[in-house]
Structure 1
């Protein structure tokens, strides 16, 4: 067994995998939520941990992905966020007070600490210090784009929420600003769900900060927790550019994300299985990149198409191998030990498989029902064709009789 890696050695190894001249692609909360949704994918865990730009890698592999946000949506989101945070965040704090803490005193004189520092580690340290100071002051405080550190499979991920608000009671709330509208007080459930999963990652990171500061977290009752589980989702109202907000309870998403992150294989365990000199730099020949990518096992599912830049490449490989996961995780779970399409067809036709296996028995019963249905359809089609022919003959006879 190889000796355990130190943090510096692991960073050096990940830099080698990324490429000596390739800049680090930071792991954000959106990518982390997608990673937690598929914890069995070692390929994504390694590439995200190493800071590999998966979009550039997909282009180099000849399987580009359209995954990502358009430039127009990005600019619109930035403009809306700037409006929400104007005047020292007065409107944002008003919404937090109204939706999350209406019994507290109004945020008329809130703290807005300066969080600038050198590097993500420095910014994370400055954020932690600002949270401590604001909590001890027992005043409203707005932390604009704080930096939070979260341990992911043994590698630190630095996350940047839109805002964190400290309440007068010393508790903290996450604020997520999105550019999709709230129409009559509700929004697209899929978009709200994605925002909730992203906010749950920030809640987990804040809980780690609270634990380091000695504050009470989820080990105690929810009402005594330092980090609130109701985040504030700020969006445009109807079809205007005026901000409105809605509280979102992320306890379920937080629990799921925490459990899934705990299942992730540690990055050093994956790197220890890789050959020396392997690299994912996008300027390498396509054959070398394909060999490097295939060295790390993936766990493709159709859901990856909306969450991972390498989804088209992994889908093509999954289809070429005949893997049943290409058609969905739920079906894969139902098939038990049958992992390929060929195995499934052979079991359904009685050419392989244990008849005592419930999955094999169900497949064979389904094949029998399909054969009966097709036979019945063929008989019905033949009867219909015969009836049409008889009707045509009768009409032809009538026409002849009329002509005579």
Structure 2
């Protein structure tokens, strides 16, 4: 969708402000600076990592502050590392990492479009279990206010971590390693301390529900992917973008928080009189009547059906309650 947005002349932001993106990058770079010292200390304090040596491996690409050239390299190194962890078993190996930045996995089966790649913010590998165990962490710059942390921000972070849990389960099964490496359904979140760019680790996050939710979502994506034209049928990136641009779209106010095309879709929704352009409450109030017709009715137009008559009545009653007539 970011590529489609670029064609439309909209800078892709994934629903985030440039300031938020910059602050997030700075926060993550600080966590992994000096061989991830700050991150390791916070994880040990929270009980996510055991006390003792915790070798760190940085799989971030260069534009994210890491040493690797491309995402493909991170993907290959992550896959190789998973095989090495499986070979080492629960006893581990002194050369294997206990902490990974940007572990990169490819989801099998064409689940996600156009790419099936997930980059995990931080991954802990515990070797003190029967099987080597992967523990997912999600890094956000959200301020951790203890019992008063924003519920929506917590839900967002947990949902993303749940996607990573299920993604790892799929990847290990695809690599034939599911019986040699375990994926913990208890993860951790790394937030910032209020007023400081220091990490606050929320350990013991139960991600079972979020992982099951991700499984259902992946199933829906798999079904959608099955209906898409294959590359061998002559579909290229260029004409795939053209098809997306030509397809109908239904704007929703929630689009602003995640879709790069929100601005252009909002403009089209206003042009065609879609009430959703003014928010869900307006769309529910108008009950299927478009904005152009609603303006005409409010300007004295004669209702042509029961729905329009009901709208005129409700508007009149609202005005009377507000003392406007």
State the partner residue of 1:57: 7
Tell me whether 1:341 sits opposite 2:300 in the alignment: no
Tell me whether 1:85 sits opposite 2:41 in the alignment: no
Q: Secondary structure at the match of 2:189?
A: strand
Aligned length: 297
Deviations 1:192-238 (A, max 9, x none): 33333332332222121222244559xxxxxxx93223332223323
Residue in structure 2 matching 1:112, options 56, 63, 67: 56
Tell me whether 1:237 sits opposite 2:189 in the alignment: no
> Could you state the TM-score of these two structures normalised by the residue count of structure 1?
0.57
State the partner residue of 1:176: 138
Residue in structure 2 matching 1:316, options 267, 273, 281: 267
Alpha-carbon separation, structure 1, partners of 2:281 and 2:19: 36
> Unaligned stretches of 5+ in structure 1?
1-47, 218-224, 282-288, 354-359, 383-404
Kindly tell me: are residues 88 and 164 of structure 1, through their superposed partners in 2, closer, same or farther at Cα, counting changes over 3 Å? Answer: same
Alpha-carbon separation, structure 1, partners of 2:113 and 2:121: 25
Tell me whether 1:207 sits opposite 2:157 in the alignment: no
Deviations 1:101-124 (A, max 9, x none): 48xx52x22343575877544532
Q: Secondary structure at the match of 2:106?
A: strand
Kindly tell me: are residues 171 and 331 of structure 1, through their superposed partners in 2, closer, same or farther at Cα, counting changes over 3 Å? Answer: farther
What are the equivalent positions in structure 2 for 1:1-400 lying under 5 Å apart?
Answer: 48=1, 53-59=3-9, 69=16, 73-99=20-46, 101=48, 105-106=50-51, 108-113=52-57, 120-135=71-86, 136-138=88-90, 139=92, 141-150=98-107, 151-153=110-112, 155-168=114-127, 169=129, 170-184=132-146, 186-214=148-176, 226-247=182-203, 248-264=205-221, 266-267=224-225, 269-271=227-229, 279=238, 294-327=245-278, 341=290, 351-352=304-305, 367-368=312-313, 370-372=315-317, 374=319
Q: Secondary structure at the match of 2:160?
A: helix
Kindly tell me: are residues 323 and 77 of structure 1, through their superposed partners in 2, closer, same or farther at Cα, counting changes over 3 Å? Answer: closer
Kindly tell me: are residues 153 and 297 of structure 1, through their superposed partners in 2, closer, same or farther at Cα, counting changes over 3 Å? Answer: farther
Alpha-carbon separation, structure 2, partners of 1:162 and 1:114: 11
CA RMSD of aligned residues (A): 4.4
Q: Please state how far the C-alpha of 1:82 moved relative to its aligned partner.
A: 3.3
Any conservation in 2 of the 1:155–1:267 contact (CA below 8 Å)?
no
> Could you state the TM-score of these two structures normalised by the residue count of structure 2?
0.69
Q: Please state how far the C-alpha of 1:279 moved relative to its aligned partner.
A: 3.6
Q: Which has the larger radius of gyration?
A: 1
Deviations 1:4-46 (A, max 9, x none): xxxxxxxxxxxxxxxxxxxxxxxxxxxxxxxxxxxxxxxxxxx
Deviating more after overlay: 203-212 vs 190-199: 190-199
Deviations 1:353-384 (A, max 9, x none): 7xxxxxx6xx866654554565x569x788xx
Kindly tell me: are residues 141 and 333 of structure 1, through their superposed partners in 2, closer, same or farther at Cα, counting changes over 3 Å? Answer: farther
Alpha-carbon separation, structure 2, partners of 1:252 and 1:324: 34
- Answer 1 or 2: which has greater strand percent: 2
> Unaligned stretches of 5+ in structure 2?
60-66
